[in-house]
């Protein structure tokens, strides 16, 4: 199996080409069914019976999945890979940010930091999930350990955390001032757009539609999105290292998983499960990633996770620098001082 990370960058270069026609089709294929599902949920909400409310709940999951796909469109705009024009990418991304509750320009900068530092123990905290090493955790105070364990609790990580991030945290660009006014302008403009769209929804569909359709779609979509992001980097055999041993190419290939989901789910999530290829070359459009996997089937065996296997990632919380893998809090308790020495 060919796993030389540096060679892959050259191999994947021909796939870094946006197709404007395909991008438009993918956008329509995402937005139209999302709007139709939203209208269907609204009609059911107006009926108000137990059966209709059950129908709403059934429609909530695919609608939230399409919200994730909408975010992937915005995500590719941020990488400059959705359309061939930078201007088209940026303005379409900003528009989508109003519906995904994500300030496009502010998020793009953070996400670029994530791609530049993923797997680098010396540069953590840039758009990633906070991850401590075993030795760092063991030397923390009891209070900080409690906070970290709370942060890593699945109810917080995949429930309260995403809701807080997309509904509240994205409304204020904390720490953006040192980067200039761009982060604030992006966030405040997105907030204004959200207020305008919300007002329109409330005026024509009612407050109940906003509270019981729009907000649940955004929140559940956020939880699904965080789960995908988590599994793509927080699996047992992921990669972390310190410089100069850390390299971007190796971190991309071996620190990002191939989340091998059924084809309908891969479509719904914008092929973001092909994450190792995305990190190797973020300019490859999401709609082209399956072509890469078909051309280079050996990539399917690198960092591969099936859904059942991914469920075991929930318990992983610490990076063990000795065994070079993610482990659980329980596993960390059984390590002796000698085995946790950095």
What is the per-residue DSSP string for 97-153?
HHHHT--HHHHHHHHHHHHHHTTBGGG--SSS---EEHHHHHTS-HHHHHHHHHHTS
Over 50: is that where the pLDDT of 2 sits? Answer: no
pLDDT 10s digits, 57-94: 999 999 999 999 999 999 999 999 999 999 999 999 99
- Please check whether residue 283 lies inside any domain of the structure: yes
- Please check whether residue 160 lies inside any domain of the structure: yes
Closest CA to 329 of 314, 339, 342, 341: 314
Residue with tokens 């139709």: 36
Q: Out of 72-81, 97-106, 179-188, 255-264, which region has the weakest mean confidence (pLDDT)?
A: 179-188
Domain range for residue 173? 18-340
Are the CB atoms for 213 and 42 separated by under 8 Å?
yes
As given in the structure block, the two tokens for residue 21 are 């026609």
Helix residue ranges, H only, 182-288? 182-205, 207-209, 215-233, 248-254, 263-268, 275-280
- Please check whether residue 1 lies inside any domain of the structure: no
DSSP state of 274: B
- Please check whether residue 329 lies inside any domain of the structure: yes
- Please check whether residue 51 lies inside any domain of the structure: yes
- Please check whether residue 84 lies inside any domain of the structure: yes
Over 80: is that where the pLDDT of 174 sits? Answer: no
- Please check whether residue 11 lies inside any domain of the structure: no
Residue 98 CA to residue 170 CA, distance in Å, equals: 11
Residue 9 CA to residue 334 CA, distance in Å, equals: 40
- Please check whether residue 111 lies inside any domain of the structure: yes
Are the CB atoms for 231 and 259 separated by under 8 Å?
yes
pTM listed for this prediction: 0.92
Q: Out of 4-13, 46-55, 71-80, 207-216, which region has the weakest mean confidence (pLDDT)?
A: 4-13
Closest CA to 186 of 246, 245, 102: 102
Q: Which residues of 79-116 are buried (b: 16+ CB within 10 A; e: fewer)?
A: bbbbbeeeebbbebbbebbbbbbbbbbbbbbbbeebbe
Number of domains in the chain: 1
Over 80: is that where the pLDDT of 179 sits? Answer: no
């Amino acid at each position: 199996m060919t796993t030389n990370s540096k060679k892959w960058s050259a191999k994947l270069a021909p796939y870094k080409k946006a197709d404007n026609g395909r991008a438009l089709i993918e956008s329509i294929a995402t937005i139209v069914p999302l709007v139709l599902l939203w209208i269907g949920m609204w009609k059911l909400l107006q009926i108000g019976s137990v059966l209709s409310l059950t129908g709403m709940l059934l429609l909530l999951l695919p609608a939230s999945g399409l919200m994730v796909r909408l975010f992937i469109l915005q995500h590719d705009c941020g990488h400059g890979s959705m359309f061939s024009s930078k201007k088209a990418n940026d303005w379409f991304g900003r528009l989508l940010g109003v519906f995904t509750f994500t300030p496009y320009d502010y998020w793009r900068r953070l996400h670029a930091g994530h791609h530049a530092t993923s797997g680098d123990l010396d540069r953590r905290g840039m758009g990633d999930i906070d991850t401590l090493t075993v030795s760092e955790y063991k030397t923390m105070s009891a209070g900080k350990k409690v906070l970290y364990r709370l942060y890593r609790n699945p109810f917080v990580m995949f429930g309260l955390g995403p809701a807080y991030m997309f509904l509240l945290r994205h409304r204020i660009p904390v720490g953006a001032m040192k980067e200039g006014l761009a982060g604030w302008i992006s966030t405040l403009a997105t907030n204004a757009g959200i207020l305008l769209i919300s007002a329109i929804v409330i005026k024509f569909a009612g407050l109940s539609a906003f509270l019981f359709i729009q907000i649940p779609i955004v929140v559940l979509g956020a939880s699904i999105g965080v789960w995908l992001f988590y599994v793509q980097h927080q699996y047992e055999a992921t990669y972390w290292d310190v410089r100069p041993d850390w390299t971007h190419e190796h971190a991309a290939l071996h620190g990002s998983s191939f989340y091998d989901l059924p084809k309908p789910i891969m479509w719904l999530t914008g092929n973001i499960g092909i994450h190792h290829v995305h990190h190797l070359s973020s300019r490859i459009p999401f709609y082209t990633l399956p072509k890469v996997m078909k051309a280079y089937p050996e990539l399917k065996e690198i960092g591969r996770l099936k859904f059942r296997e991914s469920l075991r990632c929930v318990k992983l919380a610490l990076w063990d620098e000795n065994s070079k893998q993610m482990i659980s809090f329980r596993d960390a308790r059984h390590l002796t001082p000698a085995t946790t020495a950095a």
